[in-house]
Chains A and B, each alone.
Chain A
Amino acid sequence: MTAADATLRRGRVGDPFSSPWRRRLPLLPALLFTIAITQLPFLVSIYYSFTNLKDRTQSLLPEPTKFVGIDNYKAIFNDPFFRQAMWTSVKMTVLAVVLSLVFGTLFAILLDRKFFGQGIVRTLLITPFLLMPVVAALIWKQQMFSSLFGILDKVLEFLGLTAVPFISDHPLGSIVTVLVWQWTPFMMLIMLAGLQSQPSDIIEAAGVDGATPFGIFRQLTLPHLRRYLELGALLGSIYIVQAFDAIDQMTGGGPGSTNVPYFVYQESIGGGFRYGSASAYAIVVVIFSIVIATFALRVLSGLLKDEERA
């Protein structure tokens, strides 16, 4: 049968419908569909980014869409609000990732031992990650941070302290709190996998040699967890940099809480309706993301290679 196939292939050299192509043919519709719904819009966005396209209601002003060259791109690098949004994005992502990693590791260590009700505790700890982000943001806004109905301020008042308008006074802190609350379980799961893959004989040997529990953690567990920490930080950053729901629900933007995705939203469908310049912002963000993602993926594949060697 192999011989017959080979003859068939040799017989139709140069024919685009020869056997390999015939095998791929059923995949082509899916490929074309994917290109049509992902790459064509991207090309159109690139085109838009060189025009001053506005929404119909915006262009009620006598100003037809026209080609403006690289004006939109020049404007980006002079826009203090975009720089502010970038800086907010960096702060928000770094804070949320680092804190959720710290808490995730702590909870993972607690869960990595047998105790009564472990299953229930684990389920409860994972729950925040299963909640829809909008719901999480609303719960925190109304039930925790609100100075009218919020639990936090009720507790502060009960203790005789002055109530704090959390979201008004600390917009970034409030949003980071919600993000950390949501992402800690994710980090915890990764760390738990790391802890459970640690060989127990080494730890026993260290115990026999008289190492303290803290010493064991610092000298053995932490180095073992390093690549899990890196993986958690990487995946966490990829997701948290896109944070939108919490900002939209809790502060509706503003200094200290408008990050890059929210900024582009405001520029386009969020009221700005300047699709031309919003496209330019989006494309700059895509370029940044590709650069960062390339590095990140290299790190990730490096981690996986280490894993294979280990």
Chain B
Amino acid sequence: MHEARNGSTPRRVKVLVGVFVAGIVALASLAATAMGGSTAKTISVAIVANPQMQDIASLTPSLFTSKSGIKVKYTILDEGKLREVTTRDVGSGGKAFDVVMIGMYETPQFGTAGLLDDLTAQAKGDKAYNYNDLIPAVRSGLSANGKLYASPFYAESSFVMYRKDVLKSKGLTMPSNPTWSQVATIARKINSPSMAGICLRGKPGWGDLGAAFTTVLNTFGGTWWSSTADGKPAQAQINQPVFKTALDFYAKLVQDAGEKDAANSSFNECLAQYQAGKVAMWYDATVAAGLLEAKDSPVKGKNGYALAPVVKTKASGWLWSWALAIPKSSPDAADAWKYISWATGPSYIKAAGTKTKGGWASIPPGTRLSTYQIPQYKQAAAAFASKTLDAMKAAPINNPGTTKRPGLPGVQYVGIPQFQDVGNRCTQLFSSVIAGSTKDTTALSQCQQIASSAIK
């Protein structure tokens, strides 16, 4: 009986396996044919999850695919995930995406490393795209050695937002181009138990506290690293007296007149506190103004705007952009450019004004000079449009401080790969200085150690 079973089972199994394998092969070849039919006219795009990008994803079928015949497959990710996915995909030459959305920090680094297509020729040759309409500071932030590596979808600078009514009630006025000491004086004067004087980012992270603090550091005359003659990081400068002055100023201002729970506050927390009337001033991204003046905002119409405060430099506002780039490995670069030209061109901005729920005030701002000449936009964004454009134009993208530094272009970050880690870990220390649990000298000496060993 034993032998008999042994004899028959394998044969039956073999037949079954054979049928199974044949079935799978047939299915797979069917699927491959089906996919082959559509890949010719489909491109994959990775974008960051924020309201303007979600708008464009929903408008793409009607405004782009219907005319060009190119289908767009979106992958929408939050900022951290997107950075992880694009770094991996672009860095390793993966073919997952035809177009990726990257920030101003990555663009020049990826570009000079030869990971992105140079868009300059296409951008200049494409009449509908209008290369010269791009705001110069944004364009140069997305370029390296004169080559444009990504096309801006959305861009922002930083400025001071303040409650006109609160300042007026105390008899104070905000200059339109203030210094940090003026802003600090006003903040301390209007600070009260029910309403803090100013909201400044205190949450650890190179893009959170790191961004706001670095603009302050720059204008105080400090820098994270000194530079060699060819623009590489030479020595960490966190142990310099000026770095301590800037950190002490920032931490003291937040402790004296800043928001509650500062070490946990970044853009979203400050926005909530400002809208709830718990802070009277706020230094942050220009894009916040659109939210403060939105139809449903409780502080609509009560706000004034002033340029980013300065100390030793003429301008200190940061510059950031989410931009579309084509990885070198993109399987379909020609269609990818068609998409970028449409998505970041002037005609989409006009279409977004009439076709999106948020209306004119919520179009992707800060990328083009022509945006600020659209009459409907000027009306919808009257309170902040001209100050935003001033801030964008003033952003000192190629010379943010008083000394030579590595990683240019870049204002609120140092455009070298190590900054992400150094910025994250040092801002954890600075954040705990703001919270009062670490001494400034301890934090600075530890940060100096982190920043020196990172560039070894």
List A residues at the B interface (Cβ < 8 Å): 55-58, 60-61, 80-81, 146-148, 163, 165, 167-169, 171, 251-256, 258, 266, 269-273
Contact = CB atoms under 8 A, between A and B. Distances in A.
A272 B421 contact: yes
Contacts of B276: 148
Interface stretch (B67-75, B285-293, B435-443): B435-443
Contact of B262 (A80, A168, A270): A168
Top 6 A-B pairs ranked by shortest CB distance? A168-B263, A254-B428, A165-B261, A147-B261, A56-B91, A168-B435
Nearest to B428: A254
Contacts, number: 96
B264 A165 contact: yes
Which of the listed residues B109, B435, B436 has the most CB atoms from chain A within 10 Å of its own CB? B435
B377 to A, nearest CB: 32
B179 interface: no
Given A55-B91, A60-B113, A253 B264 contact: no
A255 B437 contact: yes
A84 B139 CA distance: 43
Contact of B264 (A55, A163, A167, A270): A167
B418 interface: yes
Interface of B: 84, 87, 91-92, 109-110, 112-113, 202-206, 232, 260-264, 269, 272-273, 276, 416-418, 420-421, 424-425, 428-429, 431-432, 434-438, 446, 449-450
A56 B112 CA distance: 13
A119 to B, nearest CB: 39
A60 B262 CA distance: 36
Nearest to A149: B272
A168 B91 contact: no
A60 B205 CA distance: 23
Which of the listed residues B416, B421, B436, B438 has the most CB atoms from chain A within 10 Å of its own CB? B421
Contact of B421 (A146, A171, A252, A271): A271
A169 B418 contact: no
B428 A148 contact: no
B228 to A, nearest CB: 12
28 contacts: A55-B87, A57-B91, A57-B109, A57-B417, A61-B416, A81-B425, A81-B450, A146-B261, A147-B260, A148-B261, A148-B269, A165-B263, A165-B435, A167-B264, A168-B261, A168-B263, A168-B264, A168-B431, A168-B435, A169-B435, A252-B428, A253-B428, A254-B432, A258-B428, A269-B84, A270-B421, A271-B424, A273-B417
Contacts of A163: 260
A66 B84 CA distance: 25
Contacts of A272: 421
A61 B456 CA distance: 11
B329 to A, nearest CB: 13
Nearest to B208: A252
Contacts of A60: 109, 112-113, 417
B111 to A, nearest CB: 11
B263 A253 contact: no
Contacts of B113: 57, 60
A58 B428 contact: no
Given A57-B91, A148-B272, A169-B437, A266 B425 contact: yes
